[in-house]
Amino acid sequence: MPAISTEPRIEPATIEDMPQLVELLMALFSEEEDFRPDRTKQEHGLRLILEQPNRGRIFVLRTDYQVIGMVNLLFTISTAEGGLVILMEDVIVHPQHRRQGYGARLLDHAIEFAREKNFRRITLLTDKISAESQAFFAKHGFSHSSMIPMRLVFASS
């Protein structure tokens, strides 16, 4: 992979970014215990967001020639908060570009977007076993909730 020649910028993802977004998700899901990489599923999920902007936004960190990071913000409503909230997923920087502050830039951009659009809260799930990941989000103002995640997974058809 060539070295970055321009300062990466953050902007909304486009459908043309799909192949690179899928590659980032494949890398992310190969690191996570609860998920398995599946190119078809990842592409379908991304398409559902990119083709319907009222569902959420995907922001990418890009150079002139490649996407090196992403964050996925899904929109929903909280009756507890009385308004729109964000479920943040898929925060990832390409493994060759980590530890350069790019993850912090993506996260700061997501937080600023949420504030500007008057969202009431951002919720995320992070790996229970990753103290590093938890510390990263805590450094940006996230705190543990007394709520715990539970899920019901339906078999794929």
pLDDT digits (tens, 9 = 90+) for 14-31: 999 999 999 999 998 877
Query: pLDDT tens digit string along 81-120?
Result: 999 999 999 999 998 999 999 999 999 999 999 999 999 9
Residue 45 has pLDDT above 80, yes or no: yes
Task: Over range 67-80, report the average pLDDT.
Answer: 97
The yes-or-no verdict on residue 5 having pLDDT over 70 is no
CATH of domain 9-139: 3.40.630.30
Q: Which residue has the tokens 């790019």?
A: 102
- Model confidence, pTM: 0.90
